[in-house]
Chain A
Amino acid sequence: MSILVDKKTRLLVQGFTGSQATLHSEQSIEYGTNIVGGVTPGKGGQKHLDIPVFNSVHEAVEEVEPNASIIFVPAQFCKDSILEAADAGIKLIICITEGIPTLDMLIVKKKVDELDVTLIGPNCPGIITPGEAKLGIMPGSIHMKGSVGIISRSGTLTYEAVKQTSDLGLGQSTCIGIGGDPIPGTSFIDVLKMLEADDQTKAIVMVGEIGGTAEEEAAEYIKDNVSKPVISYIAGQTAPAGKRMGHAGAIIAGGKGTAADKIKKLKECGVHIAENLLQIGTKTKEVLG
């Protein structure tokens, strides 16, 4: 088993004919992902990468029955694209795009919750179940089917965790990048809940970073609800206060959201800490015994 995506996932790509969407769709197809259609308004009826293009998500749903959608459209159109997919009845939406206005996400988040849609991202690498399906921009080659579930706010740090767990022969069940924005569609807790219930997952790696209190909230949740070992690394131990470190959500504001606070809380709640990013793999192996 795995969570959210597998070989049966029928994927729709929104913003399909753009250069990024094209590049990553090719890579996903090569990995074995079943892309059933794409959407680019105005280009309906064409074929792209030998796959049908539609003018709207609703038309695509009618014709090719996707059950997940990945979004590559520019930031200013993401609110519309996410809500379009949700309105068309798609229950799993992955938004890769970075730079969506926070107030747009405030509305989007309320709406997707209301419609019981799982939104992953925005500003994220996507989701992969090794050996089954890749819905995102991560390099497929570093992954290996295995027992570690990975959740992260950062793209390239996820790749580090993946590489290290692959090199040590542990492999991954499912890896999800929840994204670096202040209001993510899916939280650490949402994913922890799914990984706890997944048989294939034997340990969970949670990669956090400075800003907000998502890691602290996850720590509380883990203490009472997660029986599997959780290993965590928090980036930004040397980050100065008040500066946005690339990600919109990575900022220490009013003395809150420091790496030290997060690490302390995680330790108190029984989470294993990788002090350094180099130790994510070895720490996981050590904990699994």
Chain B
Amino acid sequence: MNLHEYQGKELFAKFGLPVSNNAVVTSPDDVLSACRDIGGDKWVVKAQVHAGGRGKAGGVKLVDTPEEAIEFANHWLGNRLVTYQTDSNGQLVSSILVEECTDIAKELYLSAVIDRGTQRIVFIGSSEGGVNIEEVAEKTPEKIIYEPIDPLTGPMGFQARKISKVLGLDNEQSKQFSKMLSQLTKLFISYDLSLLEINPLVITQGGKLHCLDAKINIDSNAIYRQPEIQAMRDLSQEDPREAEAAKSDLSYVSLDGNIGCMVNGAGLAMGTMDTIKYFGGSPANFLDVGGTATQERVSKAFKLILADPEVKVVLVNIFGGIVRCDLIAEGILAAIEEVGVSIPVVVRLEGNNADIGSDILAKSNAAIESLNNLEEASKKAVELSK
């Protein structure tokens, strides 16, 4: 799960990390008082969406008057922002962050992730900030430092000094950084983060470190124990079908093809998508219906798949392990009747009692092609999708 920048900065402020004076507005009417409360004669207004690349897309602006800020709010609130990280529909802007303007001397980069290789929280720092870090890693790897944190000790002073050196900090800044590193680690662990990124972390004209951006992702597996984070969830930023699927405890990702896929198991679901592509078709979605594939779950899965108007045929691929295929077949038939599926359905059942299951499907009146072999089933689905 992702947070908005303003939510990330709330958490930063709570942990004593330096962020700009700011206010969040959801209506142009509130912009003037926000500017006055913040003070000064220059402000930065930033559209709040769950996507990077906002600056280049016009979603961030430096303004000299409250009127300009109001104009920005009028333009973006209720509109959709398209960046290189969003799809062509973009993301809905329902709030705007108004901040005091910071005088920047230098832009740096800092992030923390759970690194799968070292199996540690790793901090990544670079003297090149405000740019795409993957490009820096590729072109000038010497400007990046990766510092893993031992879960037993937490971040040590020497590690802060190592990172400071790569960031090019002076003595005073290095001391400030050491405190930041410790606070960021506490924040990371307290809220079960999977990613924390400050791009850019800046040195102000006054020589202080300052967090100009805040990108935070939270480990989905840990949301259950993070009530504060649950309250920050913004469903308008998520794909509606994916959000609906999550409510039913199904894993669903929408894609741009026309063959709907319903599979048990995440790996096999990916494998089925690959197989469709291999035979010249195009999958409309990833969907893991789960190990048990009960009628209830299959019904929900059909509803999700059929909500996509592009879908011309549904390929159901179930490897019945512990659950018998004849029971799964009955569940599929009941679900098709319940949901009222009117497009062709190709079913491949394999495993325990697969023959009996296929027989049940073949004898039904529903428009089902039942094939035990995944190759034939995939080819059939591709043929029906053309």
Q: Are B267 and A156 in contact (CB under 8 A)?
A: yes
The residues in A between 244 and 279 inclusive whose CB is less than 8 angstroms from any CB of B are 244-250, 254-255, 259, 275-278
Measured between beta carbons, the chain A residues less than 8 angstroms from B220 are 244, 248
Contacts of A245 in B (CB 8 A): 251, 253, 266, 269-270, 286
With an 8 A cutoff between CB atoms, is B271 at the interface?
A: yes
Judge if A196 is at the interface, Cβ distance under 8 Å.
no
Q: How far is the CA of A23 from the CA of B274 in the complex (A)?
A: 32
**Cross-chain contact B271 with A160 (CB below 8 angstroms):** yes
- CB pair B221–A24 under 8 Å, yes or no, is no
A152 vs B352: C-alpha distance when bound (angstroms): 21
A212 contacts B116, C-beta separation under 8 Å: yes
CB of B274 within 8 A of CB of A237, answer: yes
Nearest neighbor of A180 in chain B, beta-carbon distance: B266
> In the complex, which residues 245-271 of chain B have their Cβ closer than 8 Å to any Cβ of chain A?
251, 253, 255, 263-271
Question: Known interface pairs A24-B322, A102-B221, A106-B151. Does A207 touch B267 (Cβ–Cβ under 8 Å)?
Answer: yes
Q: Which of B85, B189, B251, B274 contacts A276 (CB under 8 A)?
A: B274
1/0 contact string of B315-347 vs chain A (CB within 8 Å): 000011110000000000000000000000000
A163 / chain B contacts, CB cutoff of 8 Å? 319, 350-351
Among the stretches A41-49, A84-92, A137-145, the one at the interface with B is A137-145
Q: Which chain A positions have C-beta within 8 A of B263?
A: 156
A283 within 8 A of B: no
* Complex alpha-carbon distance, A267 and B320, angstroms: 32
A8 within 8 A of B: no
Q: Per-residue 0/1 for A153-182: is the Cβ within 8 Å of any B Cβ (1 yes, 0 no)?
A: 111111110010000000000000000101
**Does B267 lie within 8 Å of A153, measured CB to CB?**
yes
Q: Which residue of the partner chain B has the closest CB to A237? A: B274
Indicate whether A61 reaches chain B with its CB closer than 8 angstroms. Answer: no
A101 touches B375 (CB 8 A): no
Known: A139-B322, A139-B352, A244-B220. A238 touches B283 (CB 8 A): yes
B interface, size bucket: 35 or more
Query: Does A107 contact B375, Cβ atoms closer than 8 Å?
Result: no
Give per-residue flags for B104-119: 1 if the beta carbon is below 8 A from chain A beta carbons, else 0: 0000000000101101
Closest to B120 in A: A106
B288 at the interface (CB under 8 A from A): yes
Distance in Å from the Cβ of B385 to the closest Cβ of chain A?
Answer: 14
Question: Is A75 at the interface (CB under 8 A from chain B)?
Answer: yes
A80 CB, nearest partner CB in chain B, Å: 14
Please judge, given known A-B contacts A142-B351, A155-B291, whether A239 and B273 are in contact too, CB under 8 Å. yes
Shortest C-beta distance, B4 to chain A (Å), equals 17
What is the chain B residue whose CB lies nearest that of A182? B116
Q: Are B221 and A101 interface neighbours, CB within 8 A?
A: yes
Complex Cα–Cα for A210 and B267 (A): 10
- Mostly, the B contact residues are mixed
For the complex, give the distance between the alpha carbons of A247 and B194 in Å.
15
A101 CA to B191 CA in the complex, in Å? 11
Chain B residues with CB below 8 A from A154, complex form: 265-268, 270-271
How far is B194's CA from A248's CA once the two chains are assembled, in angstroms? 11
With the chains together, A155 CA to B12 CA distance in Å? Answer: 40
Q: Is the CB of B265 within 8 A of A236?
A: no
CB < 8 Å neighbour of B270 from A104, A139, A239: A239
Cβ of B176 under 8 Å from chain A:
no
In the complex, A213→B119 CA distance in Å?
12
**Is B20 engaged at the interface, CB distance under 8 Å to the other chain?**
no
Q: Which residue of A lies closest to B257 (CB)?
A: A238
Contact in complex: A276, B275 (CB < 8 Å): yes
Are B275 and A156 within 8 A (Cβ)?
Answer: no
Check B269 against A246 for contact (C-beta < 8 Å): yes
Question: Which B residues are in CB contact (< 8 Å) with A156?
Answer: 263-265, 267-268, 319, 321
Q: Are B192 and A103 in contact (CB under 8 A)?
A: yes
Contact of A6 with B by CB under 8 A: no
Partner of B265, one of A99, A155, A237: A155
CB pair B274–A238 under 8 Å, yes or no, is: yes
Question: Any chain A CB within 8 A of the CB of B152?
Answer: yes
How many whole Å from B299's CB to the nearest CB in chain A? 19
B224 within 8 A of A: yes
Partner of A246, one of B152, B222, B288: B288
Q: Once bound together, how far apart are the Cα atoms of A239 and B269, in whole Å? A: 10
Q: Are A27 and B322 in contact (CB under 8 A)?
A: yes
Of the residues B271, B276, B350, contact of A157 by C-beta under 8 Å: B271
Residues of B within 8 A of A159 (CB): 268, 319, 321, 351
B383 sits at the interface (CB 8 A):
no
Q: Which of A24, A99, A137, A235 contacts B271 (CB 8 A)?
A: A235
The answer, among B222, B266, B269, B350, for a CB contact under 8 Å with A101, is B222
- Contacts A103-B222, A141-B352; A183 near B116 (Cβ below 8 A): yes
**Contact status B116-A214, CB under 8 Å:** yes
Question: Is A240 part of the binding interface, using a Cβ–Cβ cutoff of 8 Å?
Answer: yes
Instruction: Determine if B15 is an interface residue (Cβ-Cβ < 8 Å).
Output: no
- Top 10 A-B pairs, shortest CB-CB distance: A154-B267, A246-B266, A156-B265, A101-B222, A157-B267, A156-B268, A139-B321, A235-B270, A246-B251, A277-B271
List 6 other contacts, CB 8 Å, given A142-B321, A246-B270.
A104-B222, A106-B151, A156-B264, A180-B266, A248-B220, A250-B266
* Interface residue ranges, A against B (CB under 8 Å): 23-24, 27, 75-76, 99-104, 106-107, 109-110, 137-139, 141-142, 152-160, 163, 180, 182-183, 207, 209-210, 212-214, 217, 233, 235-240, 242-250, 254-255, 259, 275-278
